[in-house]
């Protein structure tokens, strides 16, 4: 067949790469149970994904959990105000990209947030709206045509 063409190489380099956390395939029925078990275990020490721990590189100079974030939209968060994944109903305005190249994930999430007042986004984060003190979230994603439940840390 010969070596790949430049067009093929360029197309392959634009495809999202599977992060180690995605390899953790959880059975749909057991996912919620595993989430509850991890939350009980992590009451004193927040969850850290063993397959994808936080790391520092040229893009990440410091790392903190959502509960440690002290500003929102460049304005201070009011003391005592609960931190939420989104305001009222999910909206495309709630999805923001940082300096990481993850627009392949964020663009569809922003589009889905507009569909039926965020109904689909709420299904991706079942029974989770606010900050999880234990630092673990269950996210449902369709990867390669297969729905998968994935546990991620904050």
Largest CA distance in the chain: 63
Q: Which residues contact 60 (CB under 8 A, 6 or more apart)?
A: 54
Looking at residue 42, its pLDDT comes to 80
Residues 62 and 153: their CA atoms lie apart, in Å, by 16
Does this model's pTM top 0.85? no
Is 64 one of the catalytic residues?
A: no
What are 73-82's contacts with CB under 8 Å, separation 24+?
82/130, 82/131
Nearest CA to 58 among 99, 22, 86, 106? 99
Q: Tell me which residue of 141, 125, 52, 38 sits closest to 85, measured CA to CA.
A: 125
* H-helix segments, the chain: 6-14, 28-41, 103-114, 119-124
Percent of the chain past pLDDT 90, that is, above it, reads 0
**Residues 133-154 pLDDT 10s:** 777 777 777 777 777 777 777 7
What is the predicted pLDDT for the residue at 102? 76
| From 64, 103, 132, 142, the catalytic residue | 103
């Amino acid at each position: 067949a010969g070596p790949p063409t430049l067009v093929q190489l360029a197309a392959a380099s634009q495809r999202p790469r599977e992060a180690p956390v995605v390899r953790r395939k959880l059975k749909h029925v057991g996912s919620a149970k595993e989430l509850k078990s991890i939350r009980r275990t992590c009451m004193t020490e927040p969850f850290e994904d063993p397959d994808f721990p936080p790391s520092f590189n040229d893009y990440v100079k410091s790392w903190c959990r959502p509960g440690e974030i002290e500003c929102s939209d460049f304005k201070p968060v009011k003391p005592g105000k609960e931190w939420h994944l989104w305001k009222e109903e999910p909206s495309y305005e709630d999805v923001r990209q940082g300096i990481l190249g993850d627009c392949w994930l964020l663009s569809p999430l922003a589009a889905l947030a507009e569909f039926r007042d965020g109904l689909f986004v709420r299904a991706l984060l079942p029974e989770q709206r606010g900050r999880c003190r234990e630092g673990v979230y269950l996210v449902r994603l369709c990867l390669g045509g297969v729905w998968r439940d994935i546990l991620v840390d904050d």
